Amino acid sequence: MSELIYAGSLKTLEDEGAKVIKGGSHAIAVFVHEKQVYAVDNRCPHMGFPLHTGSLCNGILTCHWHHARFDIKSGGTLDPWADDVAAYPVEIKEDDVWVHPVPYNKVTIEKLKQRLREGLEQNLSLVIAKSVVGLMEAGFPATEIAQVGVEFGTTHRQDGWRSGLTILTAMTNVLPILDKTGQILALFQGLVHVARESSGRGTRFLLGALPVLDKMNAQSFEQLSEWYSQSVEVRDSQGAERVLLTAIELGFSNEQLADMMMTAVTDHFYVNTGHTLDFHNKAFEILGKIGFEHRPYVLSSLLPGIGNLSRSEESHNWQSPVNLVKPLKEAFQELPDILAKASAQGETDVDEAALVEQILSDNALKTVSMMLDALKSGISPARLAQLVALAAAERISRFHVQNEFNDWITALHTFTHAHAVHVSLRRSTTPELTRAVFHGAMSVYLDRFLNTPSARRPEPKNVEAEPRSSSELLDIMNQQQQVAESARWVVNYLARGGNKSELFNTLGHALLREDAEFHSFQMFEASMVEHDLWENEDSELARYAQETLIIAVTRYLAGHAPTAREMPNTARIAMCLHRGEKLFEDD
C-alpha cells in the first residue's frame, strides 16, 4: 500500500473547512463535514475546476464552475454529463488525519467502456471524448473502441445505417496513417456522429430468421438470393431482413452474403447517388475489423433505408439528351459471358491511360464500348473500377471554384461510389457487381460540366529547394477557400521530396481539426485508400494517379475549411484533463 499522506490535525481541518494536499502528481481536497472527514481529487472531473472552492451542503459537493454535484462519500456524480470524482480513504490517528493516495473508485478499462456507452446513449460529446482518451492512453485496442460505437449505432437507430456509422468506419480505416492524437480525434469524431445520429431515434429489434426445420432441406442460397432481390425490388425491408438473417443463420459465407446484397443494390443504377452501395461496402469493412459475429445487427441495419431508394435510370438526365439506360442494359447482358471468358486470360494490353481519358470525355456511348472491350481483353473488373475511381478523382482535382459550392458534393458522390465499387470488387467479383463500374463511369460523364471551365493542374516550382514542414499546409487552410494555394503547396512539397507519411498525417489533422461534414470524411478516407492501392505500381499512370488523389483530397479539404472547430476543441479539453492540465487559468 502506498504511503499515507498527512492532511493535518482534525481540529485544524475543522477550522479550515477544506484543505488541499499534494497527492502524487495532483492535488487532493480534504473536507470535514458533519464531523466526518472526506477526501476527493481536487480537480472536478467535468472540466478540472478546483473543488475545494466549491460548496459542501447536505453531503453534496457542488463545483462552482458548471454546478456538477458529487456525493462526498463515494465521489459519485448526480449529473450524467460529469464523471465520478476520485474519492480517497481517510484514517484518523488520535488527532491526525491521513489520506490513502489510492482512490476507492479507481478508473478501469471496464469503467471507461461503460462511460463511453453512457456518452453515446446520452449524446454527450465531452464524455465520449474523455472515454476515448482514457481508453487509448491505456492501450485499449482502437478497433474495440470502434466496436462499442458500431454495436450502439446498429442497435439504437430504427432507421438503420447512415452517415454516422460510415464516418466511424472510415476513420477506423485510416487510423494507421495518423499519429496518436489524430487517432483519438478520428475515433472521437466518428463516435460523436454515431451518437448524434442515433439520439432519440429509437431502438431497433431484429425480426428473426425464417424457421429452419431441417438444415438438409433448408432453403438454398440461390433461393434466398432471389427472395432477397425481390424484397429489395419492392422496397420490402422487413422481408429482406428475414431472408438475410436466415442466410446468416444457415452459415453462408461472408462472400456469399456480400454477393447477395450487392446484387440487389446494383439491380438499379447508381442508387441514392451512390450512398447505398457505399454504406454496404463500409458495413462489410467494419465487420472485417470487429468480427463477423456482428453480422446480424450490422448487415440488417442496411435495410431500413430500402423503402426510400432513388434509382437513377428513372431520372431525366440518365435518359436525355443521351439515353444511357438502354446501352447499359444491353452491355450488362454481355457481362456474364465476357467475364467467364476473360477469367482464363493472362496479361492485358489495354491502354489504361487512354481509357481514363475516355471515361472523362463527353462521349458516353464510346466509353461503354471501350469498357466492354477492356473486359474482353482481360482487364479485371476491379482494375476497371480502379480506373473509374481515378477518373472520378480527376473531376475533383480539376473542380473549378466558380461552380456552386454544393457541387463539390456532386463530384464527391461519384468518387466515393467508384471507390466503394473498387474495394468491393477486390473482395468478390460478380457480373452483377461489375454493373456498378459502368454506373460510376456514367456518373463521371454526367459530372463533366463541373470541369467546365477546368481548374488548372498546378505545376511544381523551385523543385531543388528543401521541402517545407507539412504543418505549413495547416496554416494555409486556416483561411477560407485556399483551394488553389493548397494544391500548389502540395505539388511543390511532393516535387521536393517531402515525406508522404507526414503529409497524410497532416491532411488527416486538416480534416479532424474541423467540424467536418459527412462528405469530407468520405473524401479523405477514399483518397487515402485509393492512393495506397496504387502505391506498389511503378508506372507513369500510377504516379499520375497518386498525385491526382493527393491534389483532389487537398483541394476538397481546403474548400471546406475553416469551421468553428467546436468538436476538436472538446477533444482537446479531454486530452488536457487526462494530462492533469488546468483549463480555468488564463494562458
Residues near 325 by beta carbon (within 8 Å), at least 6 away in sequence: 269, 313, 318, 319
Cβ neighbours of residue 314 under 8 Å, at least 6 residues apart?
none
pLDDT under 70 in the chain at which residues? 1-2, 213, 216-217, 343-347, 584-587
Does residue 251 come out as left (phi exceeding 0), alpha (psi in the -120 to 50 range) or beta?
Answer: left
Full DSSP string of 501-544: HHHHHHHHHHHHTS---HHHHHHHHHHHHHHHHHTT--SHHHHH
Reported residue count of the chain is 587
**C-alpha 213 chain-centroid distance:** 41
**CA of 153: how far to CAs of 199, 200, 201, in Å?**
10, 12, 10
From CA 139, how far away is CA 143, in angstroms rounded?
11
Q: Find out whether 444 and 359 touch, Cβ atoms under 8 Å.
A: yes
- Report, in angstroms and rounded to the nearest whole number, the Rg of the chain calculated over CA atoms: 28
CA distances from 104 to 42, 81, 92, 580 (A): 15, 21, 17, 19
Tens-digit pLDDT profile for residues 384-396: 999 999 999 999 9
Cell of 320: 436525355
User: Residue 270: left (phi > 0), alpha (psi -120 to 50), or beta?
Assistant: left
List residues bridging with 99 in a β-sheet: 5, 90
CA distances from 236 to 117, 205, 302, 432, 580 (A): 32, 16, 13, 21, 53
- CA distances to 169, 349, 383 from 425, rounded to whole Å, are 18, 21, 9
**pLDDT given at position 155:** 97
Q: Rounded CA gap, 365 and 322, in Å? A: 9
Taking the mean position of all CA atoms in its chain, how far away is CA 289? 13
